[in-house]
Structure 1
Amino acid sequence: MTSLRTPAKATAVGRPMYSQTLPCEPSAARLGRDLVREILSLWRLDSLADRAALIITELIANACGHTLCSEVRLVCERPSPTRLRISVVDREPCHLPILDQANGDAESGRGLLLIDAIADRWGYDFKGPGKDPWGKEVWAELRTENDR
């Protein structure tokens, strides 16, 4: 079981990054939101917390709804001083995210539309060797205030 009592640590050098393995179940979304908020507070990016929490909620929900994985990995990193990347890694490379219009009566299917609307960009990358990936990372990026 993951606990928020173990504080996330910011690195003093290099590219700041935090990752945590979570169960691939809907209840992990709350823990993911709390972790992302804590990390952004440490990095002094509180202004991005609401959007980042919403993004991680949708990424975890998509992994739970579209894969058979027992675990996912939440990753929060700063690929540059002006960008924040939030992602979820799972072990099912054949179930790719597809941006699609949800039926007006559908109770689901709007997660990627929401991410597309609030993120500056999003996508996915395969994990593992080129022709034989073991998984994928679905990510979304937000610009920091330094880039506005």
Structure 2
Amino acid sequence: MTTTDADPSTTDAPGFSETVPCEPESARRARLLVCAALDTWDIGELAESGALIVSELISNAVSHTRCRVIRVVIQRETADVIRIGVADKGRGTPEPGWPDDRSEGGRGLLLVQSLSWRWGYDLHHRGKLVWAELRL
């Protein structure tokens, strides 16, 4: 089950969101949504970074929560700031890992941090939204 919405933002640019199953395969759909949003706003040059960011956020939601569905949100916050977020029902706060050279995981949020202008999370009554912002 997926649903897609387009909502206006503070910049009068449409925001994009989609609810997808909480499974690894949803990362592909989320990457497509991010690329479509960035192309709509004529800033496709951010697509590679945006796609990697949303893939990592999806992966974290799948790995660290017991959710059925997750919500992907892409908004143009200002003329030069794009926010990509993944909402889930988990209450755990995301923390970057500090893996050693032999570790296979734990690098996702470090990658998000290096690709984005800034990142963070917002706790809500029924879960959280982990987000990263790209700046033109």
TM-score strictly above 0.5: yes
Counterpart code for 1:134? R
Q: State the alpha-carbon separation in 2 of the partners of residues 119 and 67 from structure 1.
A: 23
SS of residue matched to 1:14: coil
Residue number among 84, 87, 92 corresponding to 1:86 in the alignment: 84
My pick for the range that moved more, 47-56 or 36-45, is 36-45
* Higher strand fraction (1 or 2): 2
- Residue of structure 2 equivalent to 1:51: 49
Query: Counterparts in 2 of 1:1-148, with a 5 A limit?
Result: 1-2=1-2, 11=8, 14-93=12-91, 95-127=92-124, 133-144=125-136
Task: Report how many residues are paired.
Answer: 135
Contact 2:6 / 2:14 at 8 angstroms: preserved in 1? Answer: no
Q: Structure 2 unaligned runs (5+)?
A: none
Q: State the alpha-carbon separation in 2 of the partners of residues 122 and 72 from structure 1.
A: 18
Counterpart code for 2:129? E
Counterpart code for 1:18? F
Larger radius of gyration: 1
Contact 1:10 / 1:42 at 8 angstroms: preserved in 2? Answer: no
TM-score, structure 1 as length reference: 0.84
Q: State the alpha-carbon separation in 1 of the partners of residues 100 and 20 from structure 2.
A: 30
Q: State the alpha-carbon separation in 1 of the partners of residues 100 and 61 from structure 2.
A: 20
Distance 1:137 1:10, change over 3 A: closer
Contact 1:124 / 1:136 at 8 angstroms: preserved in 2? Answer: yes
* CA deviation vs aligned residue, 1:56-98 (integer Å, no higher than 9, x gap): 00000000000000110000001111100000000112x1100
SS of residue matched to 1:63: helix
Counterpart code for 2:18? Q
TM-score, structure 2 as length reference: 0.91
Aligned-residue identity in percent: 43
